[in-house]
Amino acid sequence: MSSLLHRPSGQVGFLLVFCFVLFFINLGQWDLWNPDEPRYAQVAREMVNGGDWIMMHFNGQMYADKPPLFFWLIAFSSFLWQGFSSFSVRFPSAFFGTLSVLLTFLIGKRLYSPRTGFLAGLTLVTSLEFAYLSTRANIDATLTFFTTLSLLCFLEWYRGIPPHPRIEYGAGSCPLPKGEREDVGGCPLPKGEKENGADSSLLQRERESIVGSPFLQEKQEGKKSLIIYGFYIGMALATLAKGPVGFILPLLVVLVYLAVQKDWNGIKRMKLIQGMILFILIVLAWYLPALLKGGREYFNETILLHTVDRFAKGSSHIRPFYYYFYNFPGDFLPWIFFLPAAIAYGFSGKKTGIKREFLFLFVWFAVIFIFFSFSKGKRGLYLLPFFPAVSLMVGQWWDDHISGSIKSLHHRWFSIPLWIFSGLLFGLGVGIPWVVSTKFPSYLSYSLPIALLFAGGAIALFILYRLRYRAAIFFLIVGIIGGGVFYAQRVIFPIINPYKSARFISQEVTSRIQPGERLAIYGDFVTAPYNYYTGIIPILEIEKRDEFIRFLQSGERVFCFLKFRDFAQFQAMEGRPRVELIARRNVGGDDMVLISNRED
């Protein structure tokens, strides 16, 4: 096993198998849950059924909330897996989540070593928020792949282009700055000159064998310079996945990184004008036809309402500036315990200075964290694009810690986080069965395997720490989290699915409703899960009580979903229309009822 994992091919194979087990095997074990999954699935289904791949629709109306790339991917997956299902709708997230893990491996390999990339990939795949979103029909795993791809292309370009302009031979000066000439044997001599009796042409050939001929250098630099366009293509695809944030994040990261290094020449050389033209052409290939179809209303919704207003004013999920300071640690469990040590280690190079590799990763993390902290609307999943960066910092720290090369930090930077994590694991292992036996006694047996995993894992971590098996500690943490995530997907999610899914109460409608009869919702919730699981378009959205009363007084039979609290208020009204309560179920934390104005 050790021999296998020391080869890059073995490391990539291990990551692929691990992602397959964690992301794909259980992908269809539970239904699509609110808030996003049923809506995104319904938009993609209306796209396929309506045949309009430019202007998206939801509940029969224009949908301008998100660009189309993710919905195209769901639609393609539905063709690939022969229909819309939980598996096919979630497949793009699992696929691009896996690719993001591989990109993290590649970045770690390029910046540090294959082993750092391998450890960083395992860190990413077992961070709770990333693992969860890679098995949900959310856009963010796809967005993370394209932003990471964009930044990888920038890194490849930046590392492959010399930090100074290449001066042509014969121009009267060296192609290397002063101080580097000795490494290649000096400057080429003018034609006809000799050095210590040697023919200048012979010296020229010897130096070109070390430095490379001007022609070969120019050819290699030309190929490397093309990689920068991958940076702009990645930004364009990220923008087509989730709007302007797709280009704002990688562009900000790169510009801040170059500015911090005071590499103004790097900014000049990254072909900003040509690259942004390429970016605009790719985005306009979809947006311009959509704008021609949707007109000014579409422009106002896509650019003003869902971009500027949402960031500056917040249309939903309005939270304070410091929200991510307490939300992110939970999302990056269990590796958040080791992230402070990784950051401190990266900043610990007092004599040699902060390494450029760590600086890039830290800027990647800090820029996105600060950017979303200034946004009025906040959700934990918005931070997913910097998860590869923090995983790489943690992976590099673990690599140096395992190899014993960390000298600048005290061992407490490792022992204290490990003790806290082990204590938390043991507490969960002991506490989970007690809580379940008190609140949900019929499910006690289902809690015992996860309790044993956590409590046993905590004890095993203590033993391995005493034996100083550092690598084993890392892989045991990966195994504990991976096993816990797999068990949750295989056992826990299917158990709670009847309390989260709208499928069961929707079946009460589909078994009764006849052609021409109408379905509505009344209250502050969305139609998406009921569109998806009933197949009914459109579902009427009623907000005012008077309109609700008139709907129930219709001459034909009608059906309506509403929350039980609203139904109770309706029942207390005097002179209300007579209705029949058909079903009552919990849907994603909401106590929902289905009523009709006629009996079956």
Per-residue pLDDT reduced to its tens digit, 331-374: 999 999 999 999 998 888 644 556 889 999 999 999 999 999 99
**What pLDDT, on a 0 to 100 scale, did the predictor assign at position 305?**
56
Residues 6+ apart with CB under 8 A from 196: none
- pLDDT tens-digit profile of 264-302? 898 889 999 999 999 999 999 999 999 888 887 777 777
Q: Are 385 and 148 in contact (CB under 8 A)?
A: yes
| Pick from 255, 236, 254: nearest CA to 246 | 236
Torsion angle of the four alpha carbons 476, 478, 484, 487, in this order, in degrees rounded to the nearest 10: -100
> Are 562 and 590 in contact, with CB atoms under 8 Å apart?
no
Q: What is the mean pLDDT of residues 471-489?
A: 96
Asked if the model's pLDDT at residue 452 lies above 80, the reply is yes
Q: What per-residue confidence (pLDDT) applies to 299?
A: 75
Q: Are the beta carbons of 159 and 115 closer than 8 angstroms?
A: no
Classify burial at 113, counting beta carbons within 10 Å of its beta carbon; exposed 0-12, middle 13-18, buried 19 or more: middle
Confidence band of 413 (pLDDT split at 50, 70, 90): confident
Q: Say which range, 128-132, 216-220, 391-395, has the weakest mean pLDDT.
A: 216-220
If DSSP codes are grouped into helix, strand and coil, which group holds residue 593?
strand
Per the listing, tokens 């506490």 go with 431
Q: What residues are paired with 155 via a beta bridge?
A: none
- 590-596 and 558-563 strand pairing: antiparallel
What contacts 118, CB < 8 A, 6 or more positions away?
5, 11, 14, 15, 105, 108, 395
Question: Are the C-beta atoms of 497 and 30 separated by less than 8 Å?
Answer: yes
Greatest Cα pair distance, the chain, in angstroms, is: 115
Q: Could you give the CA distance from residue 106 to residue 112 in angstroms, rounded to a whole number?
A: 10
| Amino acid symbol at 400 | D
Judged against a pLDDT cut of 90, whether residue 5 lies above it is answered with no
Residue from 274, 170, 173 nearest 215 by CA: 170
Distance of CA 438 to the CA centre of its chain: 36
What pLDDT does 219 receive? 53
Mean pLDDT of 321-337: 94
Confidence check: pLDDT of 206 > 80: no
Look at residue 592 and give its three-state secondary structure.
Answer: strand
Q: Out of 169-173, 261-265, 294-298, 509-513, which region has the weakest mean confidence (pLDDT)?
A: 169-173
DSSP 420-452: HHHHHHHHHHHHHHHHHHHH-GGGHHHHHHHHH
Using alpha carbons only, give the angle 208, 214, 220 rounded to the nearest 5 degrees.
Answer: 105
The answer to whether residue 208 scores a pLDDT higher than 50 is no
Using one digit for the tens of pLDDT, what is the confidence trace for 230-274?
999 999 999 999 999 999 999 999 999 999 999 989 888 999 999
Q: What is the mean pLDDT of residues 440-466?
A: 94
361: tokens are: 């990763």
Residues 6 or more apart from 421 whose CB is under 8 A from it? 334, 337, 461, 477
Are the CB atoms for 314 and 373 separated by under 8 Å? no
DSSP H or E stretch at residue 474: helix 470-487
Average pLDDT, the chain: 86
Contacts of residue 351, Cβ cutoff 8 Å, sequence gap at least 6? none
Cβ–Cβ under 8 Å, residues 346 and 400: no
Please name every residue paired with 594 in a beta bridge, in sequence order, or none if there are none: 561, 583
H helix or E strand, kind and range, residue 96:
helix 86-111
- What is the mean predicted confidence (pLDDT) over 551-567? 93
pLDDT in tens, 298-320: 777 776 555 655 555 555 667 88
DSSP assignment of 536-569: -SPPEEE-SHHHHHHHHT-SS-EEEEEEHHHHHH
Handedness of CA 530, 531, 536, 538 (dihedral sign): positive
563 strand-pairing partners: 592
* pLDDT value at 179 more than 80: no
Distance CA 455, CA 423 (A): 9
The answer, yes or no, to whether residue 180 has pLDDT greater than 60, is no
Mean pLDDT of 519-525: 93
> Residue 195 pLDDT more than 70?
no
State pTM to two decimals.
0.87
Domain 503-596 grouped into CATH 3.30.70: no
Helix, strand or coil for residue 526?
coil
Q: What is the pLDDT of residue 224?
A: 65
For the chain, give the number of residues: 600
Q: Where in the chain is the domain with CATH 3.40.190?
A: 503-596
584 bridge partner residues: 593
- Note the pLDDT of residue 315: 56
CB 131 within 8 A of CB 125: yes
Decide if pLDDT at 12 tops 50.
yes
Q: What percent of the chain has pLDDT over 90?
A: 67
Gap between the Cα atoms of 361 and 439, Å rounded: 44
- CA–CA dist 20, 11 (Å, integer): 14
Helix intervals (H) in 300-411: 310-312, 323-331, 339-346, 356-374, 387-403
Strands, E assignment, 118-199: 194-195, 198-199
pLDDT tens string 58-83: 999 999 889 999 999 999 999 999 99
The residue type at 226: L
CA distances to 190, 199, 304, 494 from 172, in Å: 8, 18, 56, 74
What confidence score (pLDDT) does residue 303 get? 66
Find the mean pLDDT for residues 87-110: 97
Torsion of CA 293, 296, 297, 301, to 10 degrees: 100
Q: How far apart are CA 261 and CA 259, in angstroms?
A: 5
For residue 58, report the phi and psi dihedrals to the nearest 5 degrees.
-140, 125
- DSSP category for residue 318: B
